[in-house]
Amino acid sequence: MMSSDKYEEFVSEDHAYSVRLPVSILEKMHKDCSAALPKETGGILVGCYSEDLNWATITNAYGPSRQSTRYRSSFVRFGFDYLPTLNRLWNKGRYYIGEWHFHPFSSAAPSSIDVNTMVNLSSDKKLHCPEPVLIVVGGANGTWDISVSVFSCGARIVLHK
Ligand SMILES: [Zn+2]
């Protein structure tokens, strides 16, 4: 059904939300972060949902778009030139699932700006994604940290491994 990749699974306490992150994509994110050090980097997450919508599988983690500058946080900072890619993927049953970015040398916990940005994204009708996922990679080479959250009805839901 999905790729046969090994993945890490992150689940909310009430098991209502689950995100599967293939190890190969996590490794790519770490590689992008290493290359960006000491700067931030990040981009959008694309994936698909299970038939019962209980879990999402990440199938792509894009790096910064060409137009993006070194931003503070989010889709807006990474540039809307992702939209053609998203439209193409939409036809293949892959959707915008959310965002990821890097906190160099620090905790992967989302900042208050991150949280506010994601809450705003969840109400952006253009993205058709009322419950976006945020993955933050923290740390640096060898000491990576990660946080996975879902934003629903204006609140952050923390997912745990
Ligand atoms: Zn952040």
Whether residue 96 contacts residue 131, with contact meaning beta carbons closer than 8 Å, is answered with: no
Per-residue pLDDT, averaged over 43-72, amounts to: 78
* pLDDT tens digits for range 61-109: 988 765 555 444 444 455 556 777 778 888 888 988 999 999 999 999 9
The more confident residue out of 125 and 12 is 12
The CB-side HSE value for 58 (13 A sphere, CA atoms) comes to 31
For residue 141, report the distance from its CA to the centre of ligand 1, in Å.
18
- Tell me what pLDDT residue 72 has: 44
- Tell me what pLDDT residue 126 has: 73
Burial (0-12, 13-18, 19+ Cβ within 10 Å), 147 = buried
For residue 96, report the distance from its CA to the centre of ligand 1, in Å.
19
- Asked if the peptide bond before residue 38 counts as cis, ω within 30 degrees of 0, the response is yes
* pLDDT tens digits for range 119-155: 888 887 777 777 899 999 999 998 999 999 999 888 9
- Tell me what pLDDT residue 4 has: 57
- Convert 20-58 to b/e letters by CB count within 10 Å (16 or more is b): bbbeebbeebbebbeebeeebbbbbbbbbeeeeeebbbb
Q: What is the DSSP string of 26-93?
A: HHHHHHHHHHHTTS--EEEEEEEE-TTSSEEEEEEE----TT--S-SSHHHHH-GGGHHHHHHHHTTT
For residue 146, report the distance from its CA to the centre of ligand 1, in Å.
11
- Tell me what pLDDT residue 81 has: 65
By the CB criterion, residues less than 5 angstroms from ion ligand 1 are 111, 114
Q: Are strands 155-160 and 7-12 parallel, antiparallel or unpaired?
A: antiparallel
Q: Would you list the domain boundaries of the chain?
A: 7-160
Whether residue 131 contacts residue 122, with contact meaning beta carbons closer than 8 Å, is answered with: yes
- Tell me what pLDDT residue 63 has: 82
Say whether 13 is catalytic: no
For residue 73, report the distance from its CA to the centre of ligand 1, in Å.
6
Q: Is the predicted pLDDT of residue 29 greater than 50, yes or no?
A: yes
Q: Which of 32-46, 70-84, 106-120 has the lowest mean pLDDT?
A: 70-84
Architecture (CATH level 2) of domain 7-160: 3-Layer(aba) Sandwich (3.40)
For residue 13, report the distance from its CA to the centre of ligand 1, in Å.
23
Catalytic position from the list 40, 51, 99, 131: 40
